[in-house]
Amino acid sequence: MKTALRFSAKLKICFFLLVAVQILWAVSSSLSAGAESKKGAAKVSAWKIRQTSNLIGPLQCLVSERGVRLNAEKLGLLWIFKAPDWDAYLYNQETKNYCSFKYEVWKKRGFFMTGGTSRRKAPSQGPDALKKTTVKKTGKTMKIANLKAEQVELHYNNGIKYGEFWFSSQIDVPEQFKEVVANMLHLPLQQGGTPLKAIVRNKTGKLVPVLETVSASQVVVDAGLFKPLKGYERVKDEMALLFSGSELFGGDNRTMAGEGVSKQKK
């Protein structure tokens, strides 16, 4: 009888141990899954695009659904466009100044935009010039950074060629990224294509290359790369951004369109 009771007690202990192990395993699995979920949420798929421009020098682009991070190395400037609002944050990494614009604002005004006319009396450079052009797909294709690109030509209404552009539909990027590049380099915004190469007519009337793509690859990066930076001083606009004397060039106490304080919150 005692032997049976001891055996029964051992079975109960084994049963409780087994249940305890199962509970611990379930909890551990749940915590592990939660950790993996959090870890996965901190990463995001992106396109890493290296380009060069005779207007702003080498460009390093990270493009994802979370945002766009564009580093103009020669200028020491960094752009961050954060989804889902796609507001723009411009940082001078040398002076530690920054300025920012709502999406509706930068989409219309662009960045560091200047106008001009060619000796052949072509319309001014910039967004207004593109409204006076016609777009024509030539049917030509070429490989750029191992991607298939299609050629598009633009002509002013007076027949003068504005430029030629090569777009690839193989790179799936947010529409706002194409707006960024189009705005900065005076390119036509094409639905379903990412700009890889561009040749446009400058103010003197000469066709010159303004954008070349060196490489493009898919990567996984930290989603935090697309968050606004901390520790930068707010200035009024791009001109003030280029200089450390924010008082001289219009420093103010806004973070964006009249909101916030002079330094971004930590």
Please report, for the domain that includes residue 116, its CATH number. Answer: 2.50.20.10
**Taking residues 251-258, what's their average pLDDT?**
41
Number of domains into which the chain is organized? 1
Is the per-residue pLDDT at 212 higher than 90? yes
Residue 60 CA to residue 258 CA, distance in Å, equals: 30
pLDDT band of 246, cuts 50, 70, 90 = very low
Is the per-residue pLDDT at 16 higher than 80? no
- pLDDT for 265 equals 43
- pLDDT for 222 equals 95
Please confirm whether the linkage preceding 228 is cis (ω < 30° from 0): no
- pLDDT for 67 equals 92
74 located within any domain: yes
97 located within any domain: yes
pLDDT band of 39, cuts 50, 70, 90 = low
What one-character-per-residue DSSP string does 104-173 give? HHHHHH-SS------TT-PPPSSHHHHTTEEEEEEEEEEEETTEEEEEEEEEETTS-EEEEEEEESSS--
**Domain hosting residue 168, numbered range:** 43-226
Residue 7: how many CB atoms within 10 A of its CB?
Answer: 10
> What's the pLDDT tens digit per position in 149-198?
999 998 888 888 989 989 898 887 777 777 776 766 666 665 557 889 99
92 located within any domain: yes
Is the per-residue pLDDT at 141 higher than 70? yes
- pLDDT for 106 equals 82
Residue 15 CB partners (closer than 8 Å, separation 6+): none
On average, the pLDDT of the chain sits at: 73
181 located within any domain: yes
- pLDDT for 244 equals 60
Residue 254 CA to residue 111 CA, distance in Å, equals: 19
- pLDDT for 188 equals 63
121 located within any domain: yes
Name residue 177's amino acid: F
Percent of the chain with pLDDT over 70: 63
Is the per-residue pLDDT at 109 higher than 90? no
* pTM as predicted: 0.68
- pLDDT for 147 equals 95
Percent of the chain with pLDDT over 90: 33
199 located within any domain: yes
236 located within any domain: no
Specify the higher pLDDT residue, 113 or 177.
Answer: 177
140 located within any domain: yes
